[in-house]
Amino acid sequence: MKVIVTKNYEEMSRIAADMVAEEMKKKEEFVLGLATGDTPVGTYNGLIEKCKKGEIDFSKVHSVNLDEYYPITPDNDQSYRYFMNEKLFNHVNIDKANTFVPDGTAKDPDAFCKEYEAKIDELGGIDVQILGIGRNGHIGFNEPEAELYAYTHLTGLTQNTIEANARFFASEDEVPKQALTMGIKSVFKARRILILASGANKAEAIQKMLKDRISTDCPASLLCLHPDVTVICDEAAYSLV
Ligand code: GLP
DSSP secondary structure code for residue 158 in this structure? P
Shortest-distance atom of ligand 1 to CA 181: 8
Model confidence pLDDT, tens digit, residues 95-148: 999 999 999 999 999 999 999 999 999 999 999 999 999 999 999 999 999 999
Give 134 Cα–ligand 1 centroid separation in angstroms: 5
pLDDT higher than threshold 90 for residue 160: no
The Å distance, Cα 98 to ligand 1 centre, comes to: 23
Q: Which residues pair with 62 in a beta bridge?
A: 31
Domain map (residue ranges) of the chain = 2-234
**Tell me, what's the pLDDT at 153?**
98
Residue 136 beta carbon below 6 angstroms from any ligand 1 atom: no
Say how many C-beta atoms besides its own lie within 10 A of residue 67's C-beta.
24
DSSP character string of 115-151: HHHHHHHHTTS-SEEEE---TTS-BTTB-S-SS--SS
Among 65, 98, 136, 165, which one carries the catalytic annotation?
136
Question: pLDDT digits over 165-191, tens only?
Answer: 898 899 999 999 999 999 999 999 999
Name the residue with the closest Cα to ligand 1, atom 13: 37
Nearest protein CA to atom 5 of ligand 1, as residue: 134
Q: Which amino acid is at 141?
A: F
Strands in 178-181's sheet, in edge-to-edge order, are: 67-70, 178-181, 153-156
Fold for domain 2-234?
Rossmann fold (3.40.50)
pLDDT of residue 144: 94
Query: Catalytic pick from 68, 117, 143, 234?
Result: 143
Q: What percent of the chain has pLDDT over 70?
A: 100
Residue 143 annotated to the active site: yes
39 C-alpha to center of ligand 1: Å? 7
What pLDDT, in 10s, does the model give residues 10-67? 999 999 999 999 999 999 899 999 999 999 999 999 999 999 999 999 999 999 999 9
Bond before 71 cis per omega within 30 degrees: yes
